[in-house]
Amino acid sequence: MGHDSGGTMSGMMDEEQMSDLMAASGGDWDQMFLEMMTEHHEGAIEMAEVEVDQGENPDAVALAEKIISDQQAEITQMQQLLKP
C-alpha cells in the first residue's frame, strides 16, 4: 500500500529531509516545502487508490475518491508555484 521497507507511508519525509527543511529559509524553504508536500500528496493518492480498488465500504471509497481529487488539485497548484 505504498509503504517503503521502513514501514512508513510513501511520501513521508524522513528526519534528514525535515532537518534540511528546517535549516532552509526564504525561497529555498518554499521550494523544498512544495516539493516535499507534492511527494506527500502523491503518497496519499497512492493509498486512496488502493481503497478505491479494494474497498468495500461505499463511504470510505467515496472519501478516497475525494482525497484523490483534492490532493491532485493541490499537486497541480504546487507545481504551478514551483514554475520559474
What's the CA gap between 58 and 47, in Å, rounded? 16
What's the CA gap between 64 and 78, in Å, rounded? 21
The CB density around residue 18, as the number of other CB atoms within 10 Å, is 12
Q: Which residue from 11, 15, 19 is spatially nearest to 36, judged by alpha carbons? A: 11
- pLDDT number for residue 11: 74
Provide the residue type at 46 as one letter.
Answer: E
pLDDT higher than threshold 50 for residue 2: no
Stronger pLDDT, 26 or 1, i.e. the higher one: 26
pTM of full prediction above 0.95: no
Question: For 6-63, how does the pLDDT look when each residue is reduced to its tens digit (9 = 90+)?
Answer: 455 677 778 888 888 888 899 999 999 999 999 999 999 999 999 999 999 999 999 9
- The cell for 65 is 475518491
